[in-house]
Structure 1
Amino acid sequence: MIKRIQVNSSKMGALIIQEVPKNLAKQFIINNHYSGKWNAGFGLYNYGIFKAGEE
């Protein structure tokens, strides 16, 4: 399983792709998804994309 990858974007600079804990992903989905609900299909894989240094 991939834990963390760093990529360099020509427009956004250095980006980090990393796993996000399920409880944090769940709270983010409930607060930001249009349905406001945590579905059964959510949570199997939880990844975030962050600017380097802000992860």
Structure 2
Amino acid sequence: MDTNKLLLVIIAILLPPVGVFLKAGAGKDLLINIVLCLIFWFPGLLHALWVVTKD
């Protein structure tokens, strides 16, 4: 895992929507992540980690 991806994973753990925004920009992934974080933090965290780690 390179340094950029490691930093994105750390950001995604602390603030999931920010990690998704930095990786995917302002789009459907960010909207989905915000909704998941509002429902409950854990689904938003899982989604953020999935978005950040996929290639």
The structure in which a higher percent of residues are strand is: 1
Larger radius of gyration: 1
TM-score over 0.5 for the alignment? Answer: no
The structure in which a higher percent of residues are helix is: 2
TM range (shorter): under 0.3
